[in-house]
Amino acid sequence: MVQLGIDERVRLPEDRAPDNDEARRAVLEFFDAIARGDDQAFASMVSTTDRLELEALVESGAWRETTANITRIDVQTGSNPIDTSDTCALAVVYVGSSFQPQLWHYGIDMDGARFDAAPTPPGILDRLSGTDWIAAWFDVLAQEMALADRPDDDYRAAQTIYASGIGSAGSSQGGGNEPEGPSFGPGGPGKMPGKRPRPPKRKPPGPP
């Protein structure tokens, strides 16, 4: 970090750093660009899709406004538990009093390092547990994919049964024809299904 002049707000513990100097340099320089708000350096290391999103953030002023308030970036590296050749870096970026995690896939070739943002499910930080947050992140993604692949619940539309006469199925003592009640979702009759309550927010990870 001293040799590369890495911003002191970037924190990469020895036990969570890549096992080779080339990858260490790439990871440190990538998050240094975020900490300093250097959009040119950042753009040179991200995929085309992320570069387009960056351009929109720079144009709107959101990039400068957000990076100017970064107080700390905690980084850990590892790999996809299913494909260990898929190297990853997870960062928790502290902006003012809030913090947000992001997982990045990265690779290094003759053209340099390339980082690609991984999908970020809603409320991801509340769903990470254990010491290996990268593996936990992939577990959450697998859960989200499993839910997306499940077929939609089969809801029956309300139906009306017309009786042929008094005493027939569906008729009342008074001889009137009454519709069947509609079928409802898991919320019960007359109620929409409720949303699952979110767990309470955990305290920011890492040392204060």
For residue 80, give the CATH number of its domain. Answer: 3.10.450
Are 53 and 130 members of one domain?
yes
Q: H-helix or E-strand containing 37?
A: none
> What does pLDDT average to in each consecutive run of 10 residues of the chain (208 residues)?
95 95 97 97 95 95 95 96 93 92 94 93 87 92 80 54 41 40 31 37 51
33 occurs within a structural domain: yes
Alpha helices, H only, 62-175: 62-67, 124-127, 133-149
Report the distance separating Cα 100 and Cα 73, nearest Å: 10
Are 54 and 125 members of one domain?
yes
In the numeric block, the tokens 């300093």 are attached to: 36
30 occurs within a structural domain: yes
Are 93 and 180 members of one domain?
no
Task: Provide the residue range defining the domain that includes 181.
Answer: 154-189
Handedness of CA 199, 204, 205, 208 (dihedral sign): negative
103 occurs within a structural domain: yes
78 occurs within a structural domain: yes
Alpha helices, H only, the chain: 21-36, 39-43, 48-60, 62-67, 124-127, 133-149
Are 129 and 171 members of one domain?
no
pLDDT of residue 106: 97
pLDDT of residue 93: 95
Are 62 and 123 members of one domain?
yes
Are 81 and 50 members of one domain?
yes
pLDDT of residue 148: 72
pLDDT of residue 200: 44
Are 44 and 133 members of one domain?
yes
Tokens of 15: 């036990």
pLDDT of residue 9: 97
Number of domains composing the chain: 2
pLDDT of residue 130: 85
